[in-house]
Amino acid sequence: MDNKNLNEEVLAALRQIVRAMSIHSKSLVKHYGLTFPQLLILQELSHTNQISIGEIARRISLSQATVTDILDRLETKNLIIRTRNNLDRRQVLIKITPKAKDIISKNPSLLQEEFLAEFNKLQKWEQHLILSSVERIASMMKTKKYLKIK
C-alpha cells in the first residue's frame, strides 16, 4: 500500500472513531439531556461524597477550565452543588444532587464501557498494541494550538 492510501486509511479510521463518539454523545443528549463529558463528571462524582474541581479534572483528564464550564451547565440543571471547603475557603468542593443520583442510577451507557468490554476480550499482546498505538496517536495530536490539557 502506498503512502497516500495509507494516509487516507488512517484518517478514515480516525473519522470513524470521532463519528462513533459523536453519535453516542447525541444519544446521551437525547435520552438524558447530558453530554458525554457531563455524564462522565457525574459518574465520577457519584463515587465520592464531594471533590475539588482540580481533582475531577485530574481524574477525567480535562483541564480545570473545561471542567468548570461543564460544572456551570450541570449546576444550571440542578445536578451539582458547589460548596466552600471549611478548612480552606479558597477551595470549592462539588457534590451531586439527588436528581443527578437518579440519572446515574439509570446506568446510562458510556461508549468507553462498551469499548472496554470488547477491549478486555482481546489477548494481552493485542491490548498492549492498541494502547501503544492510541498513546502515539494522542501524542501526535496533542499540540498547544489545539489542546490545552495539563
Residues 70-122 pLDDT 10s: 999 999 999 999 998 888 888 889 999 999 999 988 877 776 778 888 999 99
Mean pLDDT of the chain: 88
What's the pTM? Answer: 0.72
Q: In CATH, what class is 3-141?
A: mainly alpha
> What is the structure's pLDDT at 85?
80
Identify whether the C-beta of residue 108 lies closer than 8 Å to the C-beta of residue 32.
Answer: yes
> What is the structure's pLDDT at 148?
53
Q: Whose CA is closest to 70, among 43, 103, 30?
A: 43
| pLDDT-derived band at 146, boundaries 50, 70, 90 | low
Identify whether the C-beta of residue 34 lies closer than 8 Å to the C-beta of residue 96.
Answer: no
> How far is 135 from 146, CA to CA, in rounded Å?
17
Higher pLDDT, residue 4 or 11: 11
| pLDDT-derived band at 143, boundaries 50, 70, 90 | low
Sequence-distant (6+) residues with CB within 8 A of 44 are 51, 56, 59, 60
> What is the structure's pLDDT at 68?
96
pLDDT of residue 3 exceeding 80: no
Identify whether the C-beta of residue 82 lies closer than 8 Å to the C-beta of residue 95.
Answer: no
pLDDT of residue 150 exceeding 70: no
Question: What's the average model confidence in pLDDT over 136-145?
Answer: 77
